Structure 1
Amino acid sequence: MRRVNYVINGGPEVLFVEDVPTPVPGLGELLVRCEAVGVTLPAVRRVREGPEPIPLGGEIAGVVEALGPGVRGFVPGERVTGMCVAHAYAERALLAENRASRVPEHADSVDAVALVRSGLVARQACSSGLIGQGESVLITAAASAVGAMAVQLARAHGATVVAAVGSVPDKRAFLRTLGAETVVGYDEPTWGEPVDVVLEGAGGELVGKAVRALGRGGRLVTFAARPGAISSHELMTRGASATGFRMGSPPKPALHACWRDELWDWHREGRLRTRVHEQIPLAEAARAHEVIESRTNLGKVVLVVD
């Protein structure tokens, strides 16, 4: 089977396609014939920045082909999705049963990798921010896969949304179709402040600016993979608070299952739309990484396996 791999850190050019034997599922694992693989910014950064090459993980969706010992909740032929921790960029991948969930009949594998993981992160961010009806919410990295979900979910909570992005002209229309009332660039002097809640997904130096956009009693929720400094003085003078989270740590399987069902229900009803920037063949994974690094994507970048 074909698999995308790398042996040295660097840009997209270090990725290559190799032929390897089909993996055998171990204890509690599913062998999945992949149909779609989600490409994420953390994975792209891991390839470029290291600290050393590790097997590429990511969201996968496809059809169960075989079961490892101890698997009781799935059968071959079912379509599933989940976070694969290693060698996700492949025609077939191993997925732990406790990370897998079924894809409903109304959806396909591309929908699954565009909705579930990004939707769960956005749902956790909205929950952590305690968003109330009529409040204002600033969302950074708003045109990313998670950001697109967060804009829609914040609107569903009855909030007014300010979307912050790196380049405004090509993203304004996209974000307004999702429900953002205002779209601002990172380099603009103001971000619609004061706001009640900031959902911060960009990280780095933008975290400080996000804190300064908070109003009295505001709440900052950070979930960016790239760290940024938060001034305790800025929080104190605003009577504001800051919190952060990492999906799956600590594990919340029952809560995430409830949220996942909610996301699929809203998707079926048309209240939550998946936004896919481009579907790219598996063998062109390097191009997918180029799109992510260029920060031009509007929604999810998906590798498709034929």
Structure 2
Amino acid sequence: MRRVRYTRSGGPEALFLEDVAVPEPGPGELLVRAEAVGVTLPVVRKVRESGEAIALGGEIAGEVVALGEGVTTYAPGDRVTGLVFGHGYADHALLRVAMASPVPDAASAVDAVALVRSGLVAHGALRAARPEPGEAALVTAAASGVGHLAVQPARSEGASRVVAAVSDRRKADFVRGLGADDVVTYDEASWGEPVDYVLDAVGGELLRPAVGALAPHGRLVAYSSGGGSVAAYDLLVGAKSVIGFQMALIARGRPGTYEKWREELWRMFLTGGLRAAVHAEFPLEDAARAHAVIEERANLGKVVLIP
């Protein structure tokens, strides 16, 4: 089978195709013939920052072709999606049963990778913010794979105003089409009137202006892999708070909540209440081009590889 390999740091040129044997599923694993693979910012960052070879994981969706020992909840031919921690940029991938979920007949594999993992992060971050009807919200990276799925429920759950923060003003029409009232760019000196909560997918140097955008008693939910720090005084003077959110902790420690959120996501999608936007689909051999789109912050929605 074909698999994308990363061998050294330095950018998109570090990715190339190799031919390897189809893996055998171990205990508690599914072997999935991948039909779509979601490109995520954390993986792109790993390629950029790591000096060692790493497995390119991420969201996959496709058909189960073999079962590992002890697997009873799925069968060959089932359509599934989930997060792969090993090699995911491949024709076939190993998916842990605990991370797998069925794909409805009415949805495509591309729908699944655009919606499920990114949507769960967006959904969970919104829950962590504890929004009240009538509050104002701000979403950073609002045009990204996760961000565009956070803008929509913030609006539908009664936010009085939704501000979309983006890297480029050319993304304004896209995020307004999702329900954003106002659009700001990261380099603007002011992000407008204060908001009650921020969903932050960027981190790094953007954390401080994001905290500055909060009204007194405001909450910032940080779910980025970008790091960053906040001065305690900036929180103290406005009685503001920063809440960390990680989807993996929910999946491992609160499986009932994880499953409930997945069901809610699919219901919203299938009834038209949530739109999963796909920026572009690339063949597997063009993984470097797909990474470049993320690196350049050019995407409007999800970037997907098609094995």
TM score, norm. by length of structure 2: 0.97
**Offset of residue 58 of structure 1:** 0.4
Separation (CA, whole Å) in 2 of partners of 1:188 and 1:5: 39
Worse-superposed segment, 89-98 or 189-198: 189-198
Is structure 2 residue 159 aligned with structure 1 residue 164? Answer: no
Could you give the per-residue CA deviations for residues 97-139 of structure 1, whole angstroms, max 9, x where no partner exists?
Answer: 1110000111010000000000010011100101111110011
Separation (CA, whole Å) in 1 of partners of 2:10 and 2:100: 31
2:263 to 261, 264, 279: 261
Residue aligning to 2:284: 282
Partner of 1:238, secondary structure, is coil
Separation (CA, whole Å) in 2 of partners of 1:172 and 1:6: 34
**Offset of residue 9 of structure 1:** 1.7
Residue aligning to 1:221: 221
Structure 1 residues 50-199: aligned runs within 5 Å: 50-159=50-159, 160-168=161-169, 170-199=170-199
Separation (CA, whole Å) in 1 of partners of 2:272 and 2:51: 42
Partner AA of 1:167 in structure 2: D
Residue aligning to 2:298: 296
Q: Give the length in aligned residue pairs.
A: 304
Separation (CA, whole Å) in 2 of partners of 1:79 and 1:7: 31
Separation (CA, whole Å) in 2 of partners of 1:140 and 1:274: 17
Could you give the per-residue CA deviations for residues 205-226 of structure 1, whole angstroms, max 9, x where no partner exists?
Answer: 1100000111011111111101
Partner AA of 1:263 in structure 2: L
Q: Which runs of 5+ in 2 are unaligned?
A: none
Partner of 1:110, secondary structure, is helix
Separation (CA, whole Å) in 2 of partners of 1:6 and 1:71: 31
| Structure 1 residue ranges, 4+ long, deviating more than 6 angstroms after superposition | none
Separation (CA, whole Å) in 1 of partners of 2:240 and 2:256: 30
Could you give the per-residue CA deviations for residues 233-259 of structure 1, whole angstroms, max 9, x where no partner exists?
Answer: 111111111111211225221101101
Could you give the per-residue CA deviations for residues 133-157 of structure 1, whole angstroms, max 9, x where no partner exists?
Answer: 1110011111111000000111121
Structure 1 vs Structure 2 CA RMSD: 0.9
**Offset of residue 51 of structure 1:** 4.5
Partner AA of 1:164 in structure 2: A
CA contact (8 A) 2:2 2:19 kept: yes
Partner of 1:145, secondary structure, is coil
Separation (CA, whole Å) in 1 of partners of 2:223 and 2:264: 21
Separation (CA, whole Å) in 2 of partners of 1:220 and 1:276: 27
Residue aligning to 1:3: 3
1:271 to 270, 273, 297: 273
Separation (CA, whole Å) in 1 of partners of 2:286 and 2:141: 25
Worse-superposed segment, 53-62 or 249-258: 249-258
**Offset of residue 52 of structure 1:** 2.2
Partner AA of 1:45 in structure 2: R
Is structure 2 residue 35 aligned with structure 1 residue 14? Answer: no
Partner AA of 2:282 in structure 1: I
Q: Which runs of 5+ in 1 are unaligned?
A: none
Structure 1 residues 219-258: aligned runs within 5 Å: 219-249=219-249, 251=252, 252-258=254-260
TM score, norm. by length of structure 1: 0.98
Separation (CA, whole Å) in 1 of partners of 2:219 and 2:8: 40
